[in-house]
Structure 1
Amino acid sequence: DAVIARHSNMHYGGTYEYPHGLAQVYRACDLVWSQDLWQAGTNSDWLLPNRIYEASYFGCPSVAVRHTVTGQRIEAAGLGFTVEAPTPDALTALLSGLKRADIQARAVGLLRQPDTDFRLTLGELETALAPLFSGGRSGSGEMSPAAANTGESLGA
């Protein structure tokens, strides 16, 4: 709170409850910075953060760095906008060039996409988790975690 209080251009609105508070958070935003920069040059260049799916689900366009997998996904699927580099100048240029109509058009486009573009269906979850509950081998021939926890061997 003290750090934010020193910045007149920042506002702290309090905590939110995950996942129930996501709709309120994203609907209050024009754009969301979706780029992870913690491990730039390695993991951050190829990961796909949950926030691009969360924000898109609620119609909030994302911003990311073009040369990363996150940026490529945003461009390919029309999820938002990209910058050439993660610099204040690049971000300022993007934001200065955007018109409210551009942002609103992208938001409407996101809301028109099937929600299953941004979340897993029950069937997809069941398929993904089936090897964990198979009680033996997973599709790769390795012991499933469920079997490993019971001490079951792979056998012949």
Structure 2
Amino acid sequence: MLHVLYLVHDVSDPAVRRRIIMLRAGGARVTLAGFRRTTNAVPDVEGLQPIDLGATRDGRFGQRLAAVAKAALSIGSKLAAMPKPDLIIARNLEMLALARRAKAAFRGGVPIVYECLDIHRLVLRNDLLGKALRTAERYLARDVKLLVTSSPAFIANYFKPFGQVAAPVELVENKYFETAPMTVDDRLKAENPAAPPWRIGWFGALRCRRSLELLADFTRRQGGRFEVVLRGRPALSEFPDFHAFVEAEPYLSFRGPYRNPEDMAAIYGEVHFSWAIDFFEEGQNSEWLLPNRLYEGCRFGAVPISMGNTETGRFLNQQDIGVLLSDATPEMLETTLGRMDQERFGKAKARVLARNPRTWSYDRSDCRAFVDRLRGLAVSPGPFVTEALA
């Protein structure tokens, strides 16, 4: 059985749990090690006891850099009790630095996979800091065996033009993971609440103040015809007043975290639309990503709302589904959504449900294929050509 050491920037990140589920469903054994964004150590992630590398703070680059430097000195002793892995997966740039230290602690011979699912705004700067970070990434990634990323736009707009990673690329989209075989009939059974009010679900990493203010303004203008349900993890480093803001808005409600995939059918069954817009790093990462909520919402029949000039918008346009905005204003939302009725919504939802379910989901066969590719790296470290998971 392939043994993977998974080094992560935040062991409590739900996306980390999803990747662990995928690796184990594909037949891999996983050892988890990483930093945490919590005061106390995280005791359990999907049945695994993480190796704790210390605490970091969201949005505090200097503090995170210091934490990485400190962990680099101790990672050998932290990993001393575990058997040598077949493969190391490093999630994000800071973990790539630690992966190389871990490889040295295991006396080499362990291939490294670089998993990069976001392009941080700091590495895109044209100043000394940005250039230094890109140089560091190229140096640290000089002999990785595979780059795993989640959007073709990351490759086209960053990795390829900047020449950051020479390794083959594996595109693993942020699709929903099916724990059991799905049929088209399962999707057609999905029901939404009676409307109005029309409900927009904004689920996942809640980090975009502009989206929050836009939705608040739009729902107030509509006087209750539209409501917004928020779930997930708000980035309080970006808007520390998040909870007070939401509580003060009559048509916004925050209903806390959820578990993926366990809760997805229930939470998307409570809404009509899925908010797939993010201005957090406008013109850069936010324009290039294909977010989890895109796949999850469409999987359960929620009609996605996106900006037309983003990678998400282009993807939806190719699929001929969703609501695409040309401008991010309350007036544009009123123009595109304000006259919503049952017939129009029914047609929009039907187009979503008519798409091939595999557009939105991975199953166990996809997990096995991904782990088989990783196993090939561990057995044959030489370069080879990979293809994206379909």
* Identical positions, percent: 23
Give the TM-score, by structure 2 length. Answer: 0.34
Structure 2: unaligned runs, 5 residues or longer = 1-242, 385-390
Paired residue secondary structure (2:279) = coil
Residue 339 (structure 2) pairs with residue 102 (structure 1)? no
Contact kept? 1:26, 1:58, Cα under 8 Å: yes
Q: Give a deviation string over 1:70-118, Cα, whole Å, max 9, x none.
A: 0111121133110002222222221124333222222123223332221
Alpha-carbon spacing, 1:2–1:60, altered in 2? closer, same or farther (3 Å): same
1: CA distance between counterparts of 2:285 and 2:255? 31
Write out per-residue CA displacement over residues 54-73 of structure 1, whole angstroms, 9 at most, x where no aligned residue.
Answer: 00000001000001110111
Which is higher, the Rg of structure 1 or of structure 2?
2
TM-score normalised by L of structure 1: 0.78
Output aligned runs, 1:1-156, within 5 Å.
Answer: 1-134=243-376, 135-137=378-380, 140-141=383-384
Higher helix share: 1
Q: d(CA) in 2 for partners of 1:17 and 1:85?
A: 33
| Structure 1 spans left out of the alignment, 5+ residues | 142-156
Number of residue pairs the alignment of both structures matches: 142
Deviates most, 80-89 or 117-126: 117-126
The C-alpha deviation readout for 1:107-139, integer Å capped at 9, x for no partner, is: 123223332221123222222232322323357
Tell me, in whole angstroms, the C-alpha distance in 2 between the residues paired with 1:61 and 1:138.
43
Stretch moving more, 72-81 or 132-141: 132-141
Greater alpha carbon shift after TM alignment, 55-64 vs 130-139: 130-139
Q: Name the CA shift for 1:123/1:47 in 2 (closer, same or farther; >3 Å).
A: same
Task: Identify which range, 74-83 or 7-16, moves more after superposition.
Answer: 7-16
User: 1:131·1:138 contact (CA, 8 Å) conserved in 2?
Assistant: no
CA RMSD of aligned residues (A): 2.2
Q: In structure 2, how many angstroms separate the alpha carbons of the residues matched to 1:101 and 1:139?
A: 56
Task: Work out whether residues 27 and 58 of structure 1, in 8 Å CA contact, stay in contact via their aligned partners in 2.
Answer: yes
Please give the secondary structure, in 2, of the residue aligned with 1:11.
Answer: strand
SS of the residue 2:305 aligns to:
strand
